[in-house]
Amino acid sequence: MSEHITNKNTSSTCPDFKVKMSVLSERGKHINTVVSEDLIMKGSIKTRENSYHHEKNPTGCINLGPAQNKLMCDVLTKRLSQPDLMVWRDDLFHYYPDAGLLEFRQAIAEFLTDKANAAMPVDPDKVVVINGCGTVLESVAFALCNSGDAFITPTPYYGGAWQDFMRRANVNIHPVHLYSNKSENETRSFQLTIDKLEKGLEKANKKGLTIRGLFLMNPHNPQGEIYSREMIKDCLQFCHKHSLHIIFDEIYLTGGFVEGVQTTSILQFKPEDIPDPERTHFIWGFSKDFAMSGFRVGLYYGFGSEVKTVIQNQCRFTRFSANMHVVLANMLKDKDWIDNVYMATNQKRLRECYQFVSSKLTLAGIPFLETTCGLFLYADFRKFLKNQSFNSEIDLWNKLLDAGVHLSPSKAFRSDEPGWFRIVFSVPIDQLKIGMERISQVCKEIVTNKS
């Protein structure tokens, strides 16, 4: 009969087969790598460490980097504090449909139909409400792309989109580089043409990339351009020709601050003018037009049903408070307040801030792209660089930070042309005055040191 013998001192005779595993997964490392490239976030972190306060820290940093509207807190606080918006019902304590509460989607649909001057009433059944437009972009990426696929987009472009597509979905953006120098027959800097899109797509295909669609911001970030109806129509045909999706990010849809300016929108196209509805997508949210970036409320609108269903099926992970659905629905229904209080005040304040910044840039001899919409302008600081390189651009960016003002450099927008900076002007005028004075002082010192 055999005996089972246990060696009490196995550690001295048996090899240690334990393998030391990495703390992070490859996905975790990927997320950290992508985040490390976010220059706007880096600048904002530096700013928060030494944030300006008119009494507590008057020498602190003025943040003109992130595109947030900080002009409307007083108006919003007053309205959101009214009893008719502070509604509590039994159903708000429970789960709600994946696409969002119907009353909220109906209020959004009516608002967009009106403000976008839509060709057809926006259908609330095609609206999916999600916790912020960044999450909408990520949900779209998961719905349309495999890991490693890509979208094309005219560049410079809102760098946060690359973060939204790449962090978890691992979907890239292939840039179609535009430049400030105008070619023959072009009327403005950074002008998009279909020929440039065709060449960009051809270049991506030669690299072996699988391009799934065109990502288009209208109005544009950072240039502030409103695309013409003809340009939108041409982009629709370009995508239809190549069986590509087209994603319209219209988060600045109602952000016009000049009297009589009407933004263009894909919602202004009749069904027969949209050649491929299943591959046509619209995104909008409350962060910019309603100065509510902290509320995290965005939406997807599908002209077809297949992609909309997949977006909706991801809402297990993208919901937000049911109470906020009702608050914002009731706010949108108050059309008198929307038109005559909120939008009238917002347009006036944005216009005044834009006029102030543009006049200061003109006095300082800094060229910029004129705009009539949005929260920012794109300014040309190339003559203040040591040389025309991104290293020199980052040197200037750091000088501005050291002087107490944060702007977003062109590298943050994946540009191929260093020296341009986005200046967000939707901040209180007292801070804007200090920020512009600090910018002017840095530029003066550079000119003095060169001479």
Give, for 82, the enclosing helix (H) or strand (E).
none
Residues facing 408 on adjacent strands: 422
Runs of H (alpha helix) within 211-343: 229-241, 306-313, 322-333, 335-337
Residues facing 281 on adjacent strands: 247, 302
| Digitized pLDDT (tens) for each residue of the chain, 451 residues in all | 444 444 445 445 555 556 778 899 999 999 999 998 888 888 888 888 899 999 999 999 999 999 999 999 999 999 999 999 888 889 999 999 999 999 999 999 999 999 999 999 999 999 999 999 999 999 999 999 999 999 999 999 998 999 999 999 999 999 999 999 988 888 999 999 999 999 999 999 999 999 999 999 999 999 999 999 999 999 999 999 999 999 999 999 999 999 888 899 999 999 999 999 999 999 999 999 999 999 999 999 999 999 999 999 999 999 999 999 999 999 999 999 999 999 999 999 999 999 999 999 999 999 999 999 999 999 999 999 999 999 999 999 999 999 999 999 999 999 999 999 999 999 999 999 999 999 999 999 998 888 7
Round to whole Å and give the CA distance between 417 and 190: 10
CA geometry: angle 289, 294, 298, nearest 5 deg: 55
For the chain, how many residues are written? 451
Give, for 201, the enclosing helix (H) or strand (E).
helix 194-206
Residues 6+ apart with CB under 8 A from 311: 128, 130, 136, 139, 140, 143, 300, 302
Residue 395 vs residues 24, 391, 392: alpha-carbon distances, Å? 33, 6, 5
DSSP string, 154-188: EES--HHHHHHHHTTT--EEEEEE--SS--TT--S
Residue 337 vs residues 209, 285, 346, 363: alpha-carbon distances, Å? 48, 19, 12, 38
Round to whole Å and give the CA distance between 303 and 149: 23
Q: Would you call the peptide bond into 222 cis, given omega within 30 degrees of 0 as the criterion? A: yes
